[in-house]
Amino acid sequence: MAFLKNRPAQNASRSQPESSSKRWLREHKEVASSSWHRLWQTPLANLLTWLTLAIALALPAALLLLLSQAQHLGQQVNQSSHISIFLAPYVNQEQGQLITNQLASRPDIAQATYISAKQALINFKASSGLEDILASLTDNPLPATILIEPANTSLGPEAIAILAQQLRQQDQIDQVLVDMAWLDRLQALLATSERFTYSLALLLALGVLLVVGNTVRLQIENRKQEILVIKLVGGTDAYLRRPFLYAGFWAGLFAAIIAWVILQLGVTYLHPPLLSLAQSYQSDWQLEGLSWFGSFILVIASCGLSVLGASLTVGRQLRLIEPK
């Protein structure tokens, strides 16, 4: 049976083109390889194109990277938000200690630290350097304070606001301070940066499309004679389009690789000063380079945009070249 099956196939391959899927695969392999070899015929011109594309990619990618890590940091800041409670002046140290213990036993509070009015004054003297002025005061102007750390570190700003509201209702408590405004400002700043980054990414993606489109247009112009002859001997549009789409793909791949290197260099360069900045805030935050997933997205976006740019141009340009 195998013998019988083999013979017609052999005959077919001798006289006719092979099966369509096999042919499709082989043709794509051929075009991928021939367009790859063509790249190295004009390496400098290609390198310049790749660099242009890489910069257009690296810029939004760097901003997105910083943004995602800043958002991460923002969440950390949220989690470590303290609540300061100022006790009423008539509450003495004993009562203050009692309130602190009561608060500490609440399930939604992890830690409550009592700072007496006297201790607060000592702290303030040490940190402000206003000892002389403070010494001239007859009364201690500072109230006793309880510092509270909420229990659930994943508690959002709303939950903290509710906790603060509950605390305010207690008689002996004069004032409850949560630095919500600062957190709100940080959130707004991050949201603004996010939109800015997305707009910039959109514009630069458009830039990538235009650069690739223009490069392909020039390549088509350079190969006009070849395209004319191929059209005359019956080359289809798909056949003519293919090498230019592959050229776009290679450009996208090399641009992604260069953009990746630019990003890693940038991260390495920025890392030391950012690290000391983070350490000054007692944060263990570190600027990280692109993850595997991020690198994958960069390559996909770059190749996708380049092939799209090439295909948008190539159809229109090929129609302009007709044998006369």
Q: Quick one: 229 or 261, whose CB is closer to other proteins?
A: 229
Which of these ranges, 51-59, 76-84, 226-234, 297-305, lies near other proteins under the rule CB under 8 A? 226-234
* 26 interacts with other proteins by CB under 8 A: yes
> 178-187 — which CB contacts under 8 Å span 24+ positions?
178/81, 178/83, 178/84, 179/81, 183/77, 183/78, 183/81, 183/157, 184/157, 186/74, 186/77, 187/74
Q: Quick one: 143 or 243, whose CB is closer to other proteins?
A: 243
Strands 145-150 and 83-87: antiparallel
Residue 132 has, within 13 A of its CA and on its CB side, a CA count of: 0
Angstrom distance (rounded) from CA 9 to CA 18: 9
Q: Quick one: 17 or 43, whose CB is closer to other proteins?
A: 17
* 107 interacts with other proteins by CB under 8 A: no
Residues 5-24 as x/- pattern, contact with other proteins by CB under 8 A: --------xxx-xx----x-
Q: Quick one: 244 or 260, whose CB is closer to other proteins?
A: 244
Q: Quick one: 7 or 23, whose CB is closer to other proteins?
A: 23
Q: Smallest gap, in angstroms, from Cβ of residue 18 to other proteins?
A: 6
Q: Smallest gap, in angstroms, from Cβ of residue 19 to other proteins?
A: 10
Angle at 37 between CA 35 and CA 41, to 5 degrees: 105
Interface of this chain with other proteins, residues 303 to 322, rule: CB under 8 A: 322
Q: Is 117 helix (H, G, I), strand (E, B) or coil?
A: helix
Residue from 230, 253, 257, 278 touching other proteins (CB under 8 A): that is 230
Q: Smallest gap, in angstroms, from Cβ of residue 233 to other proteins?
A: 5
- The edge-to-edge listing of strands for the beta sheet with 145-150 is 109-115, 145-150, 83-87, 173-178
Is residue 46 within 8 A of residue 37, CB to CB? The reply is no
Is residue 232 within 8 A of residue 105, CB to CB? The reply is no
* 131 interacts with other proteins by CB under 8 A: no
Q: Quick one: 136 or 225, whose CB is closer to other proteins?
A: 225
* 236 interacts with other proteins by CB under 8 A: yes
* 231 interacts with other proteins by CB under 8 A: yes
* 195 interacts with other proteins by CB under 8 A: no
Residue from 127, 169, 225, 276 touching other proteins (CB under 8 A): that is 225
* 25 interacts with other proteins by CB under 8 A: no
Closest CA to 148 of 77, 84, 98, 78: 84
Angstrom distance (rounded) from CA 310 to CA 245: 6
- If one counts every other C-beta atom within 10 angstroms of the C-beta of residue 119, the result is 14
Residue from 37, 154, 234, 282 touching other proteins (CB under 8 A): that is 234
Give the footprint of other proteins on this chain (CB under 8 A). Answer: 13-15, 17-18, 23, 26-27, 225-226, 228-237, 239, 322-324
